[in-house]
A and B are shown apart, each in its own frame.
Chain A
């Protein structure tokens, strides 16, 4: 069975500071891993995905994530936070069937 753990339901950073959102996964098969962002009352927007190619994945809006098999992690980072980055972020794992298992989400707060 697959599962995802997101450490920290809330993360607060200052504008311009590094953003680090943590995600650990459990999977019995080589996983596909995703990060999504959700703004209030909206659907999900894909930030980036790992599909067994390069372990460092670059996404939209300056976000990137590194797949570390030894640590079963797929943490999301951004060098410099913008106010517009404030949202809910979800890490998800999938097998090849596109059935996504989501983490509990992390709300990112950006302080001026």
Chain B
């Protein structure tokens, strides 16, 4: 199957700073990427959908100014958590799909801890 690489796998940052998470499709062109958040012992909640070259579509209740998503190329999308607070601590997972494909492929996830 196709490979999606997410980096970093773990990050600890101070409250008030910003953190960038990268999601790369290694062997296919990802026309669409999705960002999910997973709180401990809970399911994955879709945060936003991004299409290459256009603005991301955010789900209801997700602050677009706090979670900045950039999908500047067909192989890379980034999620920047701005002015992070402890309540932003979570597991963030990206997935990517290609035009005409039948499934989305997931990255390994990023464990963000804000202290």
Contact = CB atoms under 8 A, between A and B. Distances in A.
Given A100-B46, A104-B42, A43 B101 contact: no
Contacts of B95: 44, 98, 100
Contacts of A102: 43-45
Interface string A80-112: 000000000010001001111111110000000
Nearest to A88: B41
B43 A43 contact: no
A101 B49 CA distance: 13
A46 B1 contact: yes
Nearest to A44: B106
A11 to B, nearest CB: 15
B64 interface: no
A87 B70 CA distance: 32
Given A32-B102, A90-B43, A105-B43, A99 B34 contact: yes
A67 interface: no
A49 interface: yes
Interface residues of B, number: 24
Contacts of B44: 44, 90, 100, 102
Nearest to A52: B102
Contacts of A70: none
Interface of B: 1, 6, 32, 34, 42-46, 49, 91, 93, 95, 97, 101-109, 111
Interface of A: 32, 34, 36, 41-46, 49, 51, 90, 94, 97-105
26 contacts: A32-B103, A34-B103, A43-B93, A43-B106, A43-B108, A44-B44, A44-B106, A45-B106, A46-B103, A46-B105, A46-B106, A51-B102, A90-B43, A94-B104, A97-B32, A98-B101, A98-B104, A99-B34, A100-B34, A100-B44, A100-B46, A100-B104, A102-B44, A102-B45, A103-B43, A104-B42
User: Which 5 pairs from chain A and chain B are nearest by CB?
Assistant: A98-B97, A98-B104, A43-B108, A44-B106, A43-B109
